[in-house]
Amino acid sequence: MQRIDLDQTLLPDYSALREEVKGEFSLANYIELRGNHELTAAMAQLFWPDFVVWRGCVLRKDAFHAESFDTWWQHTNGDTTTIERVINLVHVHDLHGDNSILDRDVYQYIGESLAAMWGSRVRELFPDRKFVAEYVETAEDGAEAAPTVYLYQATR
């Protein structure tokens, strides 16, 4: 996966503030101005999550619920790859409730960053297992889909 650079001009609020300041204004300054510690902690947890192992599946702790898992287990006849893909997925559009539409490259940047960090995290925690952490923009049938990050074990 080739990582794209974040084109900061595609961040409208940041760009407007940077223009208003007419000087040095970094992303760190932007976070200092607009962010808060609760949001920062939540984002850190999203990008560097804790995991649980359940019936051989490696699942994001914050997304895991035994009842939901059991439903998927029955629905998929115990297909652990499908279960991991469904429970671990994140739609990049859904990360914020403000419903703002950003340039596709911004979603790609977020999605690829999330996939890279999840991949690093599971390799650190489970060095004996192989994983796929990927950002996908199209549905399996080739249709356009919500930009999505998946995490699942590559081999069983």
What is the C-alpha to C-alpha distance for residues 1 and 112, in angstroms, rounded to an integer?
Answer: 8
What pTM did the predictor assign?
0.86
Position 96 in a domain: yes
Over the stretch 34-55, which tens digit does the pLDDT of each residue have? 989 998 999 999 999 999 999 9
**Is the distance from CB of 89 to CB of 79 less than 8 angstroms?**
no
Position 110 in a domain: yes
Over the stretch 81-116, which tens digit does the pLDDT of each residue have? 999 999 999 998 888 766 566 778 888 899 999 999
Position 2 in a domain: no
Residue 122's φ and ψ, nearest 5 degrees, are -70, -30
Share of the chain above pLDDT 70, in %: 89
Position 45 in a domain: yes
Residue 134's φ and ψ, nearest 5 degrees, are -140, 150
Report the DSSP beta bridge partners of residue 134. Answer: 150
User: The domain containing residue 148 runs over which residues?
Assistant: 8-153
Q: Which helix (H) or strand (E) holds 135?
A: strand 131-138
